[in-house]
Chains A and B, each alone.
Chain A
Amino acid sequence: MIKASDIIPFFVIIPLAGAFLLSLFGRRARWVPDFAAMVAAILLCYLSLLSARLYNTYGLLKYSVGAWMPPVGIGMVLDGLTAFLLVTVNLVTLCVTVFSINYMEKYTSKWKFYTLFLLMVAGMNGVIITGDLFNMFVFLEIASVASYALVAFGTEKHELEAAFKYAIMGTVGSLFILLAIAFLYTYTSTLNMADMANILAEKGSSQIVLMASVLFIMGLGLKAALVPFHAWLPDAHPSAPAPISAMLSGVLIKSLGVYTLCRIFFNVIGLTESISSILMLLGVISMVIGVFLAIGQWDFKRLLAYHSISQIGYVMLGIGLGTPLGILGGLFHLFNHSIFKSLLFLNSGAVEYSTGTRDLKEMGGLSAKMPVTSGTSLIASMSIAGVPPFNGFWSKLLIIFALVEAGRYGYAFWAVIASILTLSSFMKVMKYAFFGELNRKWDKVKEVPFLMKLSMVMLAFICIAGGLLIYGGIGDMFLKPAAEAMLTGTKYGWLILNWLR
């Protein structure tokens, strides 16, 4: 008898098993790593879409690892937010895997790459589905350690330097998170998130919870690259190979940083006025500073990395507002950002693959030589800049509406300013890289191989179709449950534990 909830552990089992088998058999034949990673990615993508449907049919799903009932054992939970994030992560994973089949040819030992890659995916999925605070920390570390290694994958001067910086800052962030978990454990004597939410609701707030909140904001803010803690991102993201930049920027900072912040502050500790304003302030600062730093950049990938900081600011601003519309806008922007930012990073990877440069000044007129790359990149740029009718426009509009509705005119003003600056900076990219005079150097440049084109076109298609999410059926099935899951707040605990009885 197969229950619907049996699907949950497979999100961790598949990539973890894939990574393990690859490390054993990856060297046997050239096609093994590509094939195994592809199978894992397709399975994960299918399962995540299935999980979104299952959630809509059965409601909250719950799985206890090793049949130990929570709160004693480790629980895994599939609610609206989880299903939403799973679809986002695994969709991007699939596209990135398709892209890296061709792209990673220029590196040696592809199987090591895929092993680390699948390990990172396992960590991210684990963070998303787990219902246990310490288990979340373990998965978070799995994903982080794999990503440190992947940033250093090229083992050149810059990659190593960036990876070292990233690893040190990431480890310090993890220490803060562990310390916060220790504080919460001493206060509530439980680690299960649902149980902890109940006990915190009964006991009320205290200095210890406040201390833990501050530590969580520092640690998870560092993982999410919010502005005072952002210094590692502009080094680490450009240094990694392009598919990994797409993963890091597209989904890693979201599942490790934004999702965990949401889960802890909305469902476990409970959103208070002060935390909400801190999150919003951090959001606005990252949004504005990120975009200002991005304008002056001439390195394609570095520019994109600064834009990631800025867009994460939008997400935090929407979510931190805490109103239903704000949360909906924030989550929608999270999905959109993961799609168009991974597309842009893949574009930069395609340009680098063909021409071997990342400097915008050296490019020029590439649209004649690389029509698919420039076309998809145009779509992604329009999306990120918030030009209608692409998906980025709708989510930014929702966030700004929510801000105006809540009477936060100042924040809404900055959101509009940042959006205009984003547009201007991407006009620069388009002008220098793809349009204008063809640089004589690139006369012999060819378009990238088929699989790379395929993955870029897939993502571009989602960019256009993503705008539809907000309307009608798909949005109700996909986006609304996620926002509702966050709005249940600390009742989350009752929901899950009652379901068990």
Chain B
Amino acid sequence: MIYLLCLTLFCVGLYCILRKRNIIKIIVGVIIAEYAVNLFFVLSAYRINGRAPIFSEDMIIANMVDPLPHALVLTAIVIGLATTALLVAIAIRIYEKYGTFDITKIKDLEG
């Protein structure tokens, strides 16, 4: 069920990228899709009635939440930040050159 919601979020992001005309909205779409993927990755680590994966001597290794995806998602978030920063920087420069955020008006290149 929650995976389905995750998929919906991803589709919302993709819809934003494909259908919106405003550059800023497209960037927001990218961010939404990215978060959907990150969310999916974190969810995949969850175990029902799981507990924090802290290992000490008297603990048994059962029902631990998988800690690795959390670390991976952290990396993915940082990468996403870099991409988003770059996209926003390019968007600002585009606005300086073209004076608009509307991609239907920014089409000097064909194909």
- Interface residues of chain A, those whose CB is within 8 Å of chain B, are 134, 137-138, 141, 145, 148-149, 152, 155-158, 160-165, 167-168, 171-172, 174-175, 178-179, 182, 185-186, 189, 191, 231, 234-235, 239, 293
Contacts and interface: CB of A to CB of B under 8 A. Distances in A.
Given A178-B41, A235-B111, 8 more contacts: A160-B94, A164-B90, A164-B91, A167-B87, A179-B10, A182-B40, A182-B69, A239-B109
Contacts of A156: 97
Given A164-B91, A171-B30, A172-B33, A182 B83 contact: no
Contacts of A148: 83, 86, 90
A161 B94 contact: yes
Nearest to A144: B83
Contacts of B106: 161
Contacts of A138: 75, 79
A185 B44 contact: yes
A178 B30 CA distance: 14
Interface residues of B, number: 34
Nearest to B95: A160
Given A138-B75, A178-B76, A234-B111, A152 B93 contact: yes
Contacts of A189: 66
Give the interface centre of A182, A231, A293 by most chain B CB atoms within 10 Å: A182
B108 A231 contact: no
Give the interface centre of A148, A149, A175, A191 by most chain B CB atoms within 10 Å: A175
Nearest to A231: B111
B99 to A, nearest CB: 11
Contacts of A234: 111
Give the interface centre of A156, A178, A293 by most chain B CB atoms within 10 Å: A178
Nearest to B80: A171
Nearest to A230: B111
5 contacts: A155-B93, A160-B97, A167-B87, A179-B10, A293-B111
B87 to A, nearest CB: 6
B4 interface: no
Interface in B12-65: 14, 17, 23, 26, 30, 33-34, 37, 40-41, 44
A164 B83 contact: no
Give the interface centre of B10, B93, B111 by most chain A CB atoms within 10 Å: B111
A145 B111 contact: no
B108 A168 contact: no
Contacts of B69: 182, 185
Contacts of A165: 109
A178 B86 contact: no
B83 A171 contact: yes
B66 to A, nearest CB: 8
Nearest to A302: B111
A152 B90 contact: yes
Chain B contact residues: helix, strand, loop or mixed: helix
A148 B86 CA distance: 8
Contact of B93 (A160, A191, A231): A160
A145 B86 contact: yes
Contacts of A174: 79, 83
B90 to A, nearest CB: 5
A167 B86 contact: yes
B87 A168 contact: yes
B79 A175 contact: no
B2 interface: no
Contact of B109 (A145, A158, A293): A158
A55 B40 CA distance: 40
Contact of B98 (A149, A157, A162): A157
A44 to B, nearest CB: 24
A164 B108 contact: no
Contact of B17 (A137, A141, A155, A168): A168
Contact of B37 (A182, A191, A239): A182
B82 A235 contact: no
B72 interface: yes
Contacts of B34: 171, 175
B108 A161 contact: yes
A178 B37 contact: yes
A237 B108 CA distance: 15
A141 B97 contact: no
Nearest to A170: B83
A145 B82 contact: yes
B28 to A, nearest CB: 12
Contacts of A231: 111
Nearest to B26: A168
Contacts of B93: 152, 155, 160
A12 B78 CA distance: 20
Contacts of B40: 179, 182
Contact of A179 (B37, B83, B94): B37
A164 B41 CA distance: 27
Contacts of B83: 141, 145, 148, 167, 171, 174
A167 B90 contact: yes
A167 B86 CA distance: 9
Shortest beta-carbon contacts, A-B, top 6: A186-B44, A182-B41, A141-B79, A157-B97, A235-B109, A160-B94
Given A138-B75, A145-B86, A178-B76, A168 B30 contact: yes
A477 B39 CA distance: 46
A167 B93 CA distance: 14
Contact of A161 (B33, B76, B82, B109): B109
Contacts of A191: 68, 72
Contacts of B86: 145, 148-149, 167
